[in-house]
């Protein structure tokens, strides 16, 4: 037993000597391992030897070893703390000048907006869907109540791969007609994606841009659900004090159709260049899914009703990020800091 007490004393003396030499984190870690390593730590070994002692010895020596263990651990922790404190106040480290920021990756503004919008709709139980960009006239026009030669096809000058049957989709409604055909109601879906128009590029138009489409089909869906969903959506995006205007607007794939305008946030409705002096900014087109659309997609319009809405995203992204030329979003002129 005396032998053990000697060892304890020796450890104390040795520790004290080593402790005085320790100056940094690494030294304290080495010190810790020297005494507490699971394989070769002095105190670990001491503890391992305890079971060999008699009960009386254990009663005496046990607490002493325990105290030693606690004391040394506390000393090492304190040493480390003092070192950290000293380092923090080191006069040689000058923290007073600023530097350029560390580089962080940046998500494209359009995808940031899409993600924000998805977040809203997923909260309300919508799925996110996608579909092909190379599309046929059936899904892009015919099932959406747009027969060949209909004047409304002028609303969407089409880029054809083979006129009139194979084309680049002119709207994400083509995905709506695919999903209406493929799935059974009820459904709540949003569709972000690229769409194409045969337009000459200018400051606000490109031949491709981003659309955001959404639709709901279920029993008992009315135009009141459409208004409510879009009201909540605009409040989510633009704040609770947003002022909206609902008006009749024709779209071939819906009836009744509805257009939604937001009071211009720049001029508060007085008219400015952003709202083209209208006082209102056209936000999106919507309506109750057309009787013929539901029927041509295999859904019974006498049992189910639904609403749909669609919007161009690029103007929204431009407004949100203060971009004046839509081309810059996609032509590589935009860089991130």
Partner 1 sequence: MKIPLEWLEQYVKVNKKPEEMAESFTSLGLMLDKPISHYENGKYRTPVLDLEHRMDRADWLSITGCACDLAAFENTTFNFPEVDTAKPPIISEKDRVEIKVLCTDLVNRFNTRIFKNVKVKASPDWLKNRLEAYGIPSINNIVDVTNYVMVELGQTMHAQDIAKLEKPEIVIRRARKGEKLTTLLGETVTLDENCFVLTQNDLPTVLGGIVGGISTGIDETTTDIILDAGNYNQTNIRKTSRRLKILNESVLRNDKFLHPDLTEIALQRATKLILELAGGKCYKNIDWYPNKIPPKILRLRFSRILMISGIELPNDYIKKTLERLEYRVVSEDKYAFELEVPFFRTDVEVEDDIISDLLRIYNYTYIPLQQLSATPPTEITPKIYKFEDKIRDACVGLGLHEHITDPLVAADENIKEQVRLENSQSSLKNALRTDIYPGLKQVYNNYLKHQKESVGLFEIGKVYTRHNKTRGLEDFIETRVTQILFVDKSKTPDENSTAVRKILAGLLQELGTAIYSLSKNAAGVTEIFVGDATLGHIGWNRIVLFNEKLLPLSGETKRVIFDFQNLRTDDLSLMLAPTILLGVVQNEISKASADIKSIEVLPSRFDDKTKNLKNVLFRINHFSNNFAEIRKTILKILEEKFNAVAK
Residues of span 131-150 touching partner 1 by CB under 8 A: 132-136, 148-149
Q: Which of 163, 202, 203, 321 binds partner 1 (CB under 8 A)?
A: 163
Nearer to partner 1, 64 or 207 (CB): 207
Q: Which of 73, 142, 227, 235 binds partner 1 (CB under 8 A)?
A: 227
Nearest Cα neighbor of 111 from 128, 131, 132 is: 128
CB of 273 to partner 1, least distance (A): 12
Nearer to partner 1, 82 or 165 (CB): 165
Nearer to partner 1, 86 or 276 (CB): 276
> Which of the stretches 19-27, 75-83, 86-94, 218-226 binds partner 1 when contact is defined by CB under 8 A?
218-226
> Which of the stretches 15-23, 58-66, 85-93, 270-278 binds partner 1 when contact is defined by CB under 8 A?
270-278
Nearer to partner 1, 6 or 130 (CB): 130
Q: How far is the C-alpha of 20 from the C-alpha of 35, rounded, in Å?
A: 15
For strand 208-218 and strand 244-248, is the pairing parallel, antiparallel, or unpaired?
unpaired
Does 207 contact partner 1 by CB under 8 A? yes
CB of 87 to partner 1, least distance (A): 26
Residues numbered 176-205 forming contacts with partner 1, rule: CB under 8 A: 179, 183, 185-189, 194, 196, 198-201
Nearer to partner 1, 63 or 132 (CB): 132
Q: Which of 41, 58, 231, 320 binds partner 1 (CB under 8 A)?
A: 231
Q: Which of 54, 66, 228, 270 binds partner 1 (CB under 8 A)?
A: 228
Q: What is the 3-state secondary structure of the chain?
A: CHHHHHHHHHHHHHHHHHHHHCCCHHHHHHHHHHHHCCCCCHHHHHHHHHHHCCHHHHHHHHHHHHHHHHHHHHHHHHHHHHHHHHHHCCCCCCCCCCCCCCCCCCCCHHHHHHHHHHHHHHHCCCEECCCCCEEEHHHHCHHHCCCCCCHHHHHCCCCEEECCCEEECCCCHHHHHHHHHHCCCCEEEEEEEEEECCCCCCCCCCCEEEEEEEEEEECCCCHHHHHHHHHHHHHHHHCCCCCEEEEECCCCCEEEEEEEEEECCCCCCCCCCCCCCCCEEEEEEEEEECHHHHHHCCCCCCCCEEEEEEEECHHHHHHHHCCCCCHHHHCCCCCCC
Q: Which of 58, 73, 245, 320 binds partner 1 (CB under 8 A)?
A: 245
> Which of the stretches 14-22, 40-48, 87-95, 274-282 binds partner 1 when contact is defined by CB under 8 A?
274-282
3-state helix, strand, coil in the chain (%, to 5): 45, 20, 35
Q: Which of 59, 81, 247, 268 binds partner 1 (CB under 8 A)?
A: 247
Residues numbered 291-330 forming contacts with partner 1, rule: CB under 8 A: 291-292, 305, 329-330
> Which of the stretches 4-12, 25-33, 77-85, 108-116 binds partner 1 when contact is defined by CB under 8 A?
108-116
Residues numbered 46-105 forming contacts with partner 1, rule: CB under 8 A: 103-105
> Which of the stretches 3-11, 23-31, 68-76, 241-249 binds partner 1 when contact is defined by CB under 8 A?
241-249
Q: Which of 252, 309, 312, 313 binds partner 1 (CB under 8 A)?
A: 252
Within 10 angstroms of residue 66's Cβ, the number of other Cβ atoms is: 13
CB of 133 to partner 1, least distance (A): 6
Question: E strands, 250-316, where?
Answer: 254-263, 280-289, 305-312
Q: Which of 7, 15, 110, 214 binds partner 1 (CB under 8 A)?
A: 110
Residue 231 tokens, joined: 């009201």
């Amino acid at each position: 037993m005396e032998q053990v007490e000697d060892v304890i004393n020796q450890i104390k003396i040795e520790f004290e000597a080593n402790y005085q030499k320790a100056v940094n984190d690494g030294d304290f870690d080495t010190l810790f391992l020297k005494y507490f390593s699971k394989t070769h730590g002095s105190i670990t070994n001491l503890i391992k030897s305890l079971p060999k002692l008699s009960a009386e010895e254990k009663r005496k020596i046990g607490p002493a070893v325990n105290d030693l263990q606690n004391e040394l651990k506390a000393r090492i922790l304190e040493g480390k703390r003092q070192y950290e404190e000293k380092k923090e106040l080191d006069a040689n480290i000058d923290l007073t000048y600023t530097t350029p920021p560390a580089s962080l990756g940046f998500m494209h503004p359009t995808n940031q907006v899409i993600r924000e919008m998805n977040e809203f709709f997923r909260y309300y139980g919508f799925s996110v869907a996608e579909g092909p960009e190379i599309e046929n006239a059936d899904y892009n026009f015919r099932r959406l109540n747009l027969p060949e030669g209909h004047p409304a096809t002028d609303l969407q000058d089409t880029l054809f791969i083979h006129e009139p049957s194979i084309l680049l989709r002119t709207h994400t409604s083509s995905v709506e007609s695919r999903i209406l055909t493929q799935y059974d109601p009820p459904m709540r879906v949003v569709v972000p994606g690229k769409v194409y128009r045969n337009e000459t590029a200018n400051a606000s138009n490109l031949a491709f841009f981003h659309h955001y489409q959404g639709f709901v089909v279920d029993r008992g869906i009315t135009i009141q659900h459409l208004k409510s969903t879009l009201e909540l959506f605009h409040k989510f995006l633009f704040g609770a004090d947003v002022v909206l205007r609902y008006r009749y607007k024709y779209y071939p794939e819906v009836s009744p159709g509805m257009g939604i305008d937001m009071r211009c946030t720049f001029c508060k409705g007085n008219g400015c260049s952003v709202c083209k002096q209208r006082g209102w900014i056209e936000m999106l087109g919507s309506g109750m899914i057309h009787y013929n659309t539901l029927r041509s997609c295999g859904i019974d319009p006498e049992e189910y009703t639904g609403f749909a809405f669609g919007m161009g995203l690029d103007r929204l992204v431009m407004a949100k990020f203060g971009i004046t030329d839509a081309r810059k979003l996609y032509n590589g002129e935009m860089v991130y800091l």
